[in-house]
Amino acid sequence: MWQNFLLIIIIVSIAIIGLIIKLIDISNMQSRREFTIEFFNNLNSLIGTKVNGAYDNQTYIWLTERVDKMQKELGVMGIYSMIDNLAGIKTDNYPVLLNFLPEIASFNEIHNSILYERFAKSAQTCRDTLHKT
For the stretch 46-100, pLDDT in tens is 988 888 878 888 999 999 999 999 999 888 888 887 777 677 778 788 888 888 8
Span 120-128, average pLDDT? 83
Give the highest mean pLDDT range of 10-24, 80-94, 98-112.
10-24
Query: What is the structure's pLDDT at 42?
Result: 94
Distance between CA atoms of 22 and 7, rounded to whole angstroms?
23
Distance between CA atoms of 2 and 51, rounded to whole angstroms?
73
Q: Cα-Cα-Cα-Cα dihedral of 19, 24, 25, 28, to 10°?
A: 160
Percentage of the chain modeled with pLDDT above 90? 31
Residue 130: alpha-carbon gap to chain centroid: 5
- Other C-beta atoms within 10 Å of 111: how many? 7
Q: How confident is the model at residue 15 (pLDDT cuts 50, 70, 90)?
A: very high
Of 28 and 80, which is predicted with more confidence?
Answer: 28
Name the residue ranges covered by the structural domains of the chain. 33-132
Query: What is the structure's pLDDT at 113?
Result: 76
Query: What is the structure's pLDDT at 65?
Result: 93
Q: Which run of H or of E encompasses 109?
A: none
Question: Cα-flanking dihedrals φ and ψ of residue 93, to 5°?
Answer: -135, 70
Query: What is the structure's pLDDT at 122?
Result: 83
Q: Does the structure show a pLDDT above 80 at 132?
A: no
Residue 129 CB partners (closer than 8 Å, separation 6+): 74, 77, 78, 96, 97
Amino acid at 114: I
Residue 78: closest CA among 60, 58, 96, 59 = 96
Mean pLDDT for all residues in the chain: 85
